[in-house]
């Protein structure tokens, strides 16, 4: 069975550029989560969706971040404009019942 | 006070020994508890879940939960060098599909 699929795996961009991260959850999982991991702050929740509806976006740092889930099999996390402090690994995870299954992550470097 | 607290380590144990990893949480309404293993440069991988007080065993792993003390632990028996990783404790405040709050992780080193 395919797991959570994220793209791109690595992204290097310059400050001010738009970044779009993509996620395909495991089929049949109705909840999708975006987390960010840094050495300083660990694994932080950014936003999560239940049945494609955003439930909690209190972890989204500021208006530069936005996330969408247009259907059950696809979600995007967009950063516009990007800043060096956004450099981190961004994980997408999905679940049917509670335990999260993570994708391999997107490592973002903003120069 | 952090919602989920773990000692960052590193916790160093010799091969074949028992590794004991601990986690405390602050919110008494928490109902579901998880342990994840994360190798360097990789994504977190679910090892164990526990929902009720007591012990739950799965192979070399035992999760222990004490809701009165707001304490969760993970025991790894017969530790192997391949167990060297960061172990993340995660807590779900309710049942169903809600976000997990993660601790900062404990780095385990198993010495051959």
Over the stretch A39-93, which tens digit does the pLDDT of each residue have? 999 999 999 999 999 999 989 988 999 999 999 999 999 999 999 999 999 999 9
- As separate numbers, helices (DSSP H) first and strands (DSSP E) second, chain A gives 0, 11
Interface of B with A (CB under 8 A): 32, 34, 42-46, 49, 88, 90, 92, 95-105
Residue B94 has pLDDT above 70, yes or no: no
Residues A95, B97: C-beta atoms closer than 8 Å: yes
Residue B14 has pLDDT above 70, yes or no: yes
**Number of Cβ pairs < 8 A linking chain A and chain B:** 48
Specify the pLDDT at position B37.
98
Cα separation, A94 vs A102, whole angstroms: 7
pLDDT-based confidence at residue A1 (cuts at 50, 70, 90): low
Asked if A57 and A109 touch (Cβ cutoff 8 Å), the reply is: no
Using a CB–CB cutoff of 8 Å, tell me whether A98 touches chain B.
yes
């Amino acid at each position: 069975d395919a797991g959570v699929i994220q793209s791109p795996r690595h992204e290097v961009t310059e400050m001010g550029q738009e970044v779009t991260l993509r996620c395909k959850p495991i089929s049949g999982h109705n909840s999708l989560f975006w987390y960010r991991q840094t050495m300083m702050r660990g694994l932080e929740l950014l936003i999560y969706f239940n049945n494609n509806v955003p439930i909690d976006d209190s972890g989204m740092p500021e208006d530069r971040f936005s996330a969408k889930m247009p259907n059950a099999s696809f979600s995007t996390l967009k950063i516009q404009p990007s800043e060096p402090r956004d450099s981190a690994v961004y994980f997408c995870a999905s679940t049917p019942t509670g335990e999260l299954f993570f994708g391999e992550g997107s490592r973002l470097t903003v120069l | 006070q952090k919602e989920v607290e773990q000692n960052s380590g590193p916790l160093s144990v010799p091969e074949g020994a028992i590794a004991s990893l601990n986690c405390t949480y602050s919110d008494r309404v928490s109902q579901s508890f998880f342990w994840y293993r994360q190798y360097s440069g990789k994504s977190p991988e679910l090892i164990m879940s526990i929902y009720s007080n007591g012990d739950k065993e799965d192979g070399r792993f035992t999760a222990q939960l004490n809701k009165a003390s707001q304490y969760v632990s993970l025991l790894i028996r017969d530790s192997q060098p391949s167990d060297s990783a960061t172990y993340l404790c995660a807590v779900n405040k309710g049942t169903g599909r809600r976000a997990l709050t993660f601790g900062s992780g404990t780095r385990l080193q198993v010495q051959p």
